[in-house]
Every structure is written in structure tokens, then in C-alpha cells.
Structure 1
């Protein structure tokens, strides 16, 4: 299955969108159904035992150095726990994601990953690039996924609207976070943070 699209962020500079999309906490908070995204330092990582930090500050309240320290890193593995409702099925995917390319100058990021839930599995390759527009930024993205098991049996007719809804909600939430940052960024927090990444 292939999913791709573009999302406009009005009034948001590409470098500011890049900063926000580089923060695993901001991504987690914007992605409905995501319990956590954390670096995968241990081969014996237990998805059930991991306690995600709650109420972690993101920009504009967060310390820019903390945001820079936790930003996605190239060639690094992450564990993510996702629960997504697909029709009558609500699988809980234990997912491993590897950030591949991360180009801070051209705002390009790629990732590969796989996940499993009871009776369903997937593998995916994703990419994202951010480009400047007259009014702000456009985020172009795509994912190629191989889904098997119970979720795959539902077919594209069910999966495509669910994927579209998840993506639209995600980018709307990111846009709201960016609006909050832009409105309160009197001290040039995002500029300082861009220099740290």
C-alpha cells in the first residue's frame, strides 16, 4: 500500500516546521493513538513495562537545549507504541522505527520501520521533505507499507480513509503547536534551537 500527500502550514517557516517535526515529544503529542516514541537503546525493550513521561514540555515552554538533545538522530532506532482504530479493529502496534537520512539543510528525513499487533503486522518506508511556499511551508510526505493479517483483510477501502484521518489530524495538531510557538517566540527560541540541531 502506498500513501502520500502534502500539507500546507500557513505562516510557518520551513526551518520552524523542521524543528517541530524533529522533536519526538511534539510528534507523539500530535499523533493520535501514540503512547510514546523513545530511543531504543536496549535489545530487550519491553513495550508493556516502559513508562512514558507524561506532560513533557514542548516548544515554546520547553528548554531549547532539552529539545535539541532529544531530537531525532540519523541512523538511530526508536520504539513507538501506537493504538489505531481501523473499523471494528483497534490493534496496538509495538513498532520499531529507524531514522535513516536526516538532512538539516534541505529538510528531508527518511525512516523505515515495522510493527506487530495481535494478528496484524506491517513494514514501512517513509519520507518527508519540507519546502518553502509563498505563505509558509509545504510538507510533502509518503509511506509505502506492507500490511498483513487482520488489518490487511479490511482492504484499502477501509484503510485509506483511516490513514487520511490520522495524517490530517497529525498535521493540524502540528500546525496548532507551531502557531503557539510563533505567537510566543519573542526571544527567538526556534532560531537558537535551529542552530543546535
Structure 2
């Protein structure tokens, strides 16, 4: 299945959108049903991992701390996601690898796979952030190609597509709210973000 689209953020410059969308904590907080996104190593155990709660994101967090925990190309991440599709509400243990990260062009691609109680998926996805033509915000292009099997796949695209669209719309609405908070702050965070590039 293929999903793609665009999302525009008013008054949010691309470099700011990039920093927030590169922060695993901000992404986790904006993605409904996501319990954690964390770097994996060989010793990672799904059952015993306890995510940190109440981790600060921008504008409260230090911009350097946010930059230090940003997604890294080549790194594997563990993500625990619960998604409700019809009467099925599986909790997916998902492994995501950041394949490419281009700080200059604000572009990132990732691959991943996950499984949960009779369902599984693999995916390739990516995003690129552009400055809007009116230079008053950002335009985010995103795409995902997913291969879904098991109980969820049996529900078909008629059920899956609206759920996927709802997840994406809720995510970008939450991200836009977070970015607006950063833009409105007078703490100098925005200037520090711009200084990172």
C-alpha cells in the first residue's frame, strides 16, 4: 500500500520544522498510540524497556540537547505503537532504521518493520521539507510504502486508508502546535536553531 501527501505549516521556517521532526521525543509525543521511540542496541529488550516520561521538548528543552538526541543515519530505533483499525487494536513492536538524513536539504528516509498478534508490516518512508513559495512557512512532502499482512491486511484498504490518514493528520496537527509554541517563544530558541545550520 502507498500513502503520500503534503502538509503546510504557517509561520514555521524549514530549519525549525526539521529540528522538531528530527527529535524522537517530539515525534513520539505527537504520534497518538506511540509509547516510545528509542535508539536500539544488541541488548535492547522490548519487555523490560521503561521509557522516560515527561521529557522536555522545544521550546522548554535546551536546543543543544534536542540536537544531540536527533535521529541519526544508520541508527536503529525501537518504537512501540498501538494502532486501532476497526475492532483490531494491535501493539506493534517496530524496528526503524534511519537510512538517510540530509541536514542541508531537510530530507530523511527510513525503513522499518513490525509485528503484533497476527499482523505484520514492512515499510519504506521519507519526508522532505521545503520553504513555501510565499516564504512564510514550510511545506512538508511525505510518503510511505507499506507491505501489510495478517489480520489487519484482511480488513483491506477501505478500512486501513482512513485510519492511516487520520494518524497522519493528527500527527501533523500536533507537530504544528508544538512548532508554533517554539516560534512564539522569546527565549532565543529559534535563533539558536537557525545557528545550527
Q: TM-score, normalised by structure 1?
A: 0.96
Please give the per-residue CA displacement for 1:32-64, whole angstroms capped at 9, x wherever unaligned. Answer: 0000000002x2422121101111000000011
Please give the per-residue CA displacement for 1:154-192, whole angstroms capped at 9, x wherever unaligned. Answer: 0000000000000000000000000111111x2431332
Q: In the alignment, which residue of structure 2 is the partner of 1:73?
A: 72
For the 8 Å contact 1:19–1:190, the answer to whether it is kept is no
Instruction: Note the 1:18-167 alignment, pairs <5 A.
Output: 18-41=18-41, 43-133=42-132, 134=134, 135-167=136-168
For the 8 Å contact 2:16–2:193, the answer to whether it is kept is no
Query: Following TM superposition, by how much is the alpha carbon of 1:196 offset from its aligned partner in structure 2, in angstroms?
Result: 4.3
Query: Following TM superposition, by how much is the alpha carbon of 1:194 offset from its aligned partner in structure 2, in angstroms?
Result: 4.7
Structure 2 portions without partners, runs of 5+: none
The CA distance in 1 between the partners of 2:190 and 2:103, in whole Å, is 14
For the 8 Å contact 1:19–1:194, the answer to whether it is kept is no
Deviates more, 1:122-131 or 1:65-74: 65-74
For the 8 Å contact 2:15–2:193, the answer to whether it is kept is no
Query: Following TM superposition, by how much is the alpha carbon of 1:193 offset from its aligned partner in structure 2, in angstroms?
Result: 3.4
Please give the per-residue CA displacement for 1:100-125, whole angstroms capped at 9, x wherever unaligned. Answer: 11000100000000000010000000
Closer/same/farther in 2, CA of residues 194 and 39 from structure 1, 3 Å limit: farther
Task: Indicate the SS of the match to 1:60.
Answer: coil
Please give the per-residue CA displacement for 1:130-154, whole angstroms capped at 9, x wherever unaligned. Answer: 0011131110000000000000000
Q: How many residues matched?
A: 195
Task: Indicate the SS of the match to 1:62.
Answer: coil
Query: Following TM superposition, by how much is the alpha carbon of 1:65 offset from its aligned partner in structure 2, in angstroms?
Result: 1.8
Structure 1 portions without partners, runs of 5+: none
Q: In the alignment, which residue of structure 2 is the partner of 1:188?
A: 188
Q: In the alignment, which residue of structure 1 is the partner of 2:10?
A: 10
Closer/same/farther in 2, CA of residues 194 and 97 from structure 1, 3 Å limit: farther
Task: Indicate the SS of the match to 1:152.
Answer: helix
Q: In the alignment, which residue of structure 2 is the partner of 1:178?
A: 179
